[in-house]
Chains A and B, each alone.
Chain A
Amino acid sequence: MKGPWRIPIILGIIIVYALCWRAVGIAPSKFFEPQAAQRAREIFTAFVTPEILIPEVSRQAVEVPFRVPCPPGAKSTPEVSGLSPQIVMPVCASEGEIIKVEGRGFHPKSDVILRWRFAPSSQLPLGGELVAARVKANEDGSFEAQIEVRPLLAQEGGASLQAEAQWRTGRRVVSPALVKTAELMVQTIFLALMATTFATVIAIPISFLAARNIMAKGPVGTAIYYAVRWVLDLVRSIEPIVVAAIFATWVGFGPFAGVLALTVATIVSLGKLFSEVIETIDPGPVEAITATGANLLQVIRYAVVPQIVLPFLAFIIYHWDINIRISTVVGFVGGGGIGYQLKLWIDQTDYHKAGTAVWAIVAVVSVMDYVSARLREAIK
Chain B
Amino acid sequence: MPLIVEHLTKIYPDGTRALNDVSFRVEDGEFVAIVGLSGAGKSTLLRCINRLVEPTSGRIIWNDIDITAASPQELRRIRRQIGMIFQQFNLVKRSTVLTNVLSGRLGYLNPWLTLLGYFPPAEKKRAMEALERVGLADLAYKRADELSGGQQQRVGIARALMQEPRLLLADEPVASLDPVLAHSILRYIEELNKEGGVTVICSLHFLDLVHRYATKVIGLKDGFKVFEGRPEEIDDRRFKEIYGQEAERIGG
Contact = CB atoms under 8 A, between A and B. Distances in A.
Interface of A: 282, 284-285, 287-295, 297-298, 301-303, 306-307, 309-310
29 contacts: A284-B89, A284-B90, A285-B93, A288-B156, A289-B106, A291-B79, A291-B82, A292-B105, A293-B76, A293-B77, A293-B78, A293-B79, A293-B80, A293-B108, A293-B163, A294-B76, A295-B111, A297-B111, A297-B115, A298-B106, A298-B114, A301-B114, A301-B115, A302-B95, A302-B103, A306-B92, A306-B95, A307-B93, A309-B94
Nearest to A283: B90
B87 to A, nearest CB: 9
Given A293-B78, A295-B76, A302-B103, 6 more contacts: A284-B86, A292-B103, A292-B105, A297-B111, A301-B114, A302-B106
Contacts, number: 81
Contacts of B169: 291
B180 interface: no
A307 B115 contact: no
Contacts of B94: 306-307, 309-310
Secondary structure type dominating chain A contacts: helix
A284 B152 CA distance: 13
B159 interface: yes
B173 interface: no
A305 to B, nearest CB: 9
A302 B94 CA distance: 11
Contacts of A294: 76, 103, 106-107
A291 to B, nearest CB: 4
Contacts of B159: 288, 292
A293 B156 CA distance: 15
A292 B106 contact: yes
Contacts of B163: 292-293
B84 interface: yes
Contacts of B79: 290-293
B9 interface: no
A290 B82 CA distance: 11
